[in-house]
Amino acid sequence: MSKADFKGQIPEGSTEAAMLASLDENRMPRHVAIIMDGNGRWARQRRLPRVDGHRAGISAVRETVEAAAQLDIEVLTLYAFSRENWKRPKDEIETLMELLKEFVAAELGTMLKHRIRFNVIGRIHELDPMVQKCLQEAMTLTATGDGLLFNIALSYGGRTEITEAAAAAHRFLCRPENQHRELDETLLSSFLYTSGQPDPDLLIRTSGEMRVSNFLLWQIAYAEIWVTEVLWPDFRRCDLLEALVAFQKRERRYGGLENEGGPSRPTDVLAPSR
Ligand code: FPP
């Protein structure tokens, strides 16, 4: 995939083309994280069952993954199922899991073709064994992908992730050979699900809610947040472009001052040594 392919898909003279042209390739976010919200409301507006909203959300997932890969974004993380979502009716959960399996099976070829690396973050062992098997196969088959890293958050909770990382860091520090080490941000980050990945630069939330909903709590410390009223099933390439254009207009200071030799990211931890 390339930006040229992307350009080729966009009608000349359209708003999308103008947004694409206005993007500065050197200031693209490395990591975009998305809270996909509003499937239920989308269905309700059409007097459809809630699960039809989730089904309609699949096209938005497909288009967003493709656009992110074409725009050379390094990491895309989609929040598909939180630990709190286990409280939903059994039927809805089962449909979501079926949709997930169908999505992975249908998109595997595309992911391989475009060298997308598929990855699950969250408590994968809490999912149905058949779903786990399907996800594991997709992760194994795409493991050598050097294009977009596509994280999908499933049975995910930010506080749980931090708690698990703290416990793992504690076990690590208790080993005799690590007695001289101290707990710091780099060490703790290395035990998160996203270890070795850049933190999100941009967090998008659809459907207008102003919440972070226990998503990537550690990693979004310095993320720019962009909320759109668009409901997830209606989210399209042009909405992603709009978010990217808005992101590039923001001034990122990471707690410092403007014109101090440029911003530096304080918490990015790439391939930390344990
Ligand atoms: C939030 O909408 C969305 C979810 C809990 C699930 C997200 C799932 C999908 C987009 C489809 C499946 C995804 C993949 C990757 C196969 P909501 O139900 O909370 O909406 P509401 O707030 O309007 O009720």
For ligand 1, is residue 57 a contact (CB within 6 Å)?
yes
For ligand 1, is residue 37 a contact (CB within 6 Å)?
yes
How many domains is the chain partitioned into structurally?
Answer: 1
Residue 41 CA from chain centroid, whole number: 22
Domain holding 139, by residue range, is: 29-156+202-248
pLDDT of residue 24: 95
Mean pLDDT of 236-248: 97
For ligand 1, is residue 227 a contact (CB within 6 Å)?
no
| Sheet containing 117-121, strands listed edge to edge, beginning at the edge strand earlier in sequence | 117-121, 149-156, 75-82, 31-35, 202-205, 224-227
Domain membership of residue 87 (yes or no) is yes
- Token pair belonging to 227: 């909320």
CA torsion 105→107→108→109, rounded to 10°? 120
* For the chain, percent of residues with pLDDT exceeding 90: 86
Banded model confidence at residue 16, pLDDT cuts 50, 70, 90: very high
Kindly give the interhelix angle for 129-141 and 90-113, rounded to the nearest 10 degrees: 10
Instruction: Report pLDDT digits (tens) over 43-100.
Output: 999 999 999 999 999 999 999 999 999 999 999 999 999 999 999 999 999 999 999 9
Q: Is the pLDDT of residue 105 over 60?
A: yes
Sequence-distant (6+) residues with CB within 8 A of 245 are 19, 22, 23
Mutation test residue for ligand 1: of 34, 37, 116, the one with most atoms within 8 Å of CB = 37
pLDDT of residue 271: 45
pLDDT of residue 251: 82
pLDDT of residue 272: 46
pLDDT of residue 270: 46
Site of tokens 């992730």: 161
pLDDT of residue 12: 86
Domain membership of residue 261 (yes or no) is no
Domain membership of residue 107 (yes or no) is yes
Note if 85 is an active site residue.
yes
Mean pLDDT of 13-39: 95
Domain membership of residue 178 (yes or no) is no
Catalytic residue among 37, 52, 201, 239: 37
For ligand 1, is residue 58 a contact (CB within 6 Å)?
yes
Domain membership of residue 16 (yes or no) is no
DSSP class of 27 = G
Mean pLDDT of 152-165: 98
Mean pLDDT of 186-192: 98
CATH number of the structural domain spanning residue 229: 3.40.1180.10
Closest by CA position to 54, among listed 33, 35, 77, 36: 36
Sequence-distant (6+) residues with CB within 8 A of 4 are none
pTM of this structure: 0.93
Domain membership of residue 134 (yes or no) is yes
